[in-house]
Structure 1
């Protein structure tokens, strides 16, 4: 491909280390400043000579669409970050590529049709009912919605995955996932790593957590196969075990485990982020909270919500979309360019590490007026049509778009409706610092006072 683009601008940073300390201290703020000061395609360097990394950041909606969709074949998941996630959590849908990914997606797609996903609503409402009941005993009527909702979404996705074996999995996942995730993240962004097999304290700790996590998944999978439960069960694990086609065959035990681990990773942390920040934003904005509650009361009249209620709760959907704009669960998405490519009249070289950043694009002044303000009315159908397709992309996009986005919206709307039915929320922590991990991560509590409603 012949390119005619100009040299990519970017921050100078420190003479020997570039932007290394800025990225380490606040990568999301660094990307925001880069867009404001240098435009929609920016080159950022970090690290000492000999270990220096170059990163090309694309911040426009049009550029994001090019990287993720229209020229997605040229931007692959070949970077160090995805390799570390692949080694830690397996070669599932999030991390696989080429024919592996095409085959996996074809086998898994029938498990995520709207009709199939709507069948998971009972698991979501059962876990949410347990959460709202527990809140009545909260000390000082105060809860940290981030930690509470993370536990809720983990239990919900584990119940959907494992059915009656949920209890044996949740405790291990809660304990091991953070260890493995932090380890993969640290290695993914480090300029140099020791081999995983070397017996360093970090390697040994991560290996022990990985072994325990793999063992519990393998045990449940083996139990299903031995008992013949996979032949009739409707939990996601049983469906994965039965998934097959003449063209793609079926998953073996290791492939099933890889899919389970990726679903656990992507299926609870991302939804927890969206739901937790939706609750916290409503707790900070009483007027919007009351509008959302009025819709819930009118539609549900005190009953438990069902999947069929989603279309009748448009304001709740707008609240969640606005929460995902301000706090996208995947704030930064990485790729590696195969060939030199022109993006926004700048040339990105072959082999370059490239990011698109919902965190920045969702705040871009070209698409979002007064971008830091919480305003669910941005997501009326009329206003959505006015914006470019990739001005808002919390689920990624193109052929690698999140397969579970309907499930995430279903779970979030149902849980939000049930919580607003029972509680009025007010924020204790007005500002919640965040950082970029594998997913967006709260760096402090998001405490809310939850008062049971009396009418």
Structure 2
């Protein structure tokens, strides 16, 4: 039994605690909690009898304990993860224990650096399509948030489904917002009606899930049939269908769909967020933009970038890392404590809902000087070497760290390099309001004025 002192609580209103603050601005509420009470804070929300208590851990040292050194004590057993499972299946993001270990063993060979590097051409092709669409408008204004969401969705769909990309993009674009809003509403509600009850919200979500499942199941059936006929393919779904464990075990069709849905969810929204805010931040900081563009042009000239260019574009990588510091795609990560644990001198009780918050830790003045300032040089090698490993953790950490880290960086560097080489960006919206959904969400446009640069391919 941990013997630390009781965790201090954030002040709230009588009866409902911090419910309205969390609903209005959860990220700002977490930041105020750290400023007022330190690195471990308890936040209560909801009426008596339905009250939730969140134990928030804001230090890098605490995040390391929750995600890595004591990861076995902090599980994905909270209500939010259950809602994710009920909608997006029991894939790598949501599975646990033996299920997770089996899935990870089957999927890991498909995410080696060599295999992921082979997806560079698909990313470059989809970025080229975006540039072609922008060229028709010449010097106009684009919402980089919406544009990068479209680009990232097409890229991950092409990598997953190959020639079937057009059959899926429209369905995902139409159905995902309905499903994610449904998951969020139920995941953070103190009480929910059964999903089977024919309420308007349940019926809308069920229709979206049916449509999404149907298109995935159809493509999966085609892939499995093609494999039976010895047809070969290099898209990720074909590789997933052919993955085998040590006991020759494979994914069945339902498990394949679970993995596909998780890859679609995690594979496009996260990368889109990083790209959009990198462009918007560069649009507000012309000197850093010019420096990044000069690096791109000196390294690439007019050729299409490939996987080998990642190491040759260190400043561009620093720009992306700084964008992910200020706007982490996963701003809050939840767990449930199995046993009472002492963190930062305070007792987190058994059964507690625990969150670590990259949004807050990435702005912690203990690790970051002038934390709200955009400064890619924070990620120069010498600066990174002197910082705590968990002062920056946009991909999580420990045994459940994101399996797609390298893919996300590959896609982001290639796309950003091609966009900066072709266009100059000037931010129109100086500030972009955000909220914590399943991933970080822009609550307004992130518009940039774009100007086509002469002599670009």
Is the contact between residue 231 and residue 238 of structure 1 (CA under 8 Å) also seen in structure 2?
no
Residue 286 of structure 2 is matched in structure 1 by 286
SS at match of 1:16: coil
Is the contact between residue 143 and residue 449 of structure 1 (CA under 8 Å) also seen in structure 2?
yes
Is the contact between residue 58 and residue 357 of structure 1 (CA under 8 Å) also seen in structure 2?
yes
SS at match of 1:137: helix
Distance in 1, matches of 2:447 and 2:142, equals 5
TM-score, normalised relative to structure 1: 0.99
Write out per-residue CA displacement over residues 414-454 of structure 1, whole angstroms, 9 at most, x where no aligned residue: 00000011000101001000000000000000000110001
Distance in 1, matches of 2:157 and 2:345, equals 46
Q: Does 1:387 align with 2:387?
A: yes
Q: Does 1:439 align with 2:439?
A: yes
Write out per-residue CA displacement over residues 122-174 of structure 1, whole angstroms, 9 at most, x where no aligned residue: 10000000001111223861100000000000000000000011111110000
Tell me how far 1:279 sits from its aligned partner. 0.5
Is the contact between residue 367 and residue 391 of structure 2 (CA under 8 Å) also seen in structure 1?
yes
User: Does the C-alpha gap of structure 1 residues 429 and 139 become closer, same or farther in structure 2, counting only changes over 3 Å?
Assistant: farther
* Paired positions, count: 454
Distance in 2, matches of 1:241 and 1:140, equals 45
Distance in 2, matches of 1:85 and 1:59, equals 24
Is the contact between residue 51 and residue 190 of structure 2 (CA under 8 Å) also seen in structure 1?
yes
Residue 324 of structure 1 is matched in structure 2 by 324
Tell me how far 1:231 sits from its aligned partner. 4.8
Residue 53 of structure 1 is matched in structure 2 by 52
Distance in 2, matches of 1:73 and 1:93, equals 16
Distance in 2, matches of 1:140 and 1:421, equals 15
Is the contact between residue 107 and residue 248 of structure 1 (CA under 8 Å) also seen in structure 2?
no
How does 1:146-185 map onto structure 2 within 5 Å?
A: 146-185=145-184
Query: Bigger CA drift: 139-148 or 358-367?
Result: 139-148
**Where in structure 1 are there 5+ consecutive unaligned residues?**
none
RMSD: 1.0
Write out per-residue CA displacement over residues 174-204 of structure 1, whole angstroms, 9 at most, x where no aligned residue: 0001100110111000000000000000000
Residue 262 of structure 2 is matched in structure 1 by 262
Write out per-residue CA displacement over residues 388-436 of structure 1, whole angstroms, 9 at most, x where no aligned residue: 1100000000000000000000000000000011000101001000000
How does 1:211-360 map onto structure 2 within 5 Å?
A: 211-228=210-227, 231-247=231-247, 249-360=249-360
Is the contact between residue 55 and residue 355 of structure 2 (CA under 8 Å) also seen in structure 1?
yes
Distance in 2, matches of 1:305 and 1:338, equals 47
Write out per-residue CA displacement over residues 364-406 of structure 1, whole angstroms, 9 at most, x where no aligned residue: 0000000000000000111111111100000000000000000
SS at match of 2:36: helix
User: Does the C-alpha gap of structure 1 residues 358 and 248 become closer, same or farther in structure 2, counting only changes over 3 Å?
Assistant: farther
Residue 121 of structure 2 is matched in structure 1 by 122
Residue 452 of structure 1 is matched in structure 2 by 452
**Where in structure 2 are there 5+ consecutive unaligned residues?**
none
Q: Does 1:133 align with 2:132?
A: yes
